[in-house]
Amino acid sequence: MRRLGNELKEKFLELYATSFNISATCKKLNICRDVYYDWIKKDENFAKKVREVEESVIDAVENALIKKALDGDVKAQIYFLKTKAKSRGWGAEEDFSLQLPSTLKIEIVRSEGASENS
């Protein structure tokens, strides 16, 4: 039974690497998400392999983004710079929000000689 569980985990990792979607992978293997989370909680080696798969997918997407940016895709260039070149001023967005105190007192002062309707 343990061997079958290990084979199922290996198959999960294989499928997860191509879909990067826990629900879809569980559905393909006909297991519920609770089984996956139980594996993560109880099997440190499996949890480590899942993190490795996630890192490799992130690497692949980063590489694809970089390729598009280097090929001249302006949106990819801007996104890359806003996320990776913040130290150079990219991605710095001005915060124009106004912080008001929790209580605000407004005083209306009338100048001398002003009428009530002015």
pLDDT tens sequence across 72-108: 999 999 999 999 898 888 876 666 676 777 787 778 8
Cα–Cα distance, 28 to 118 (Å, whole number) = 75
Full-model pTM: 0.65
pLDDT digit string (tens) for 13-70?
999 999 999 999 999 999 999 999 999 999 999 999 999 999 999 999 999 999 999 9
Tell me if 80 sits within 8 A of 69, measured CB to CB.
yes
Cα–Cα distance, 47 to 16 (Å, whole number) = 13
Burial of 20 (0-12, 13-18, 19+ CB in 10 A): middle
Q: Specify the 3-state DSSP secondary structure of 81.
A: helix
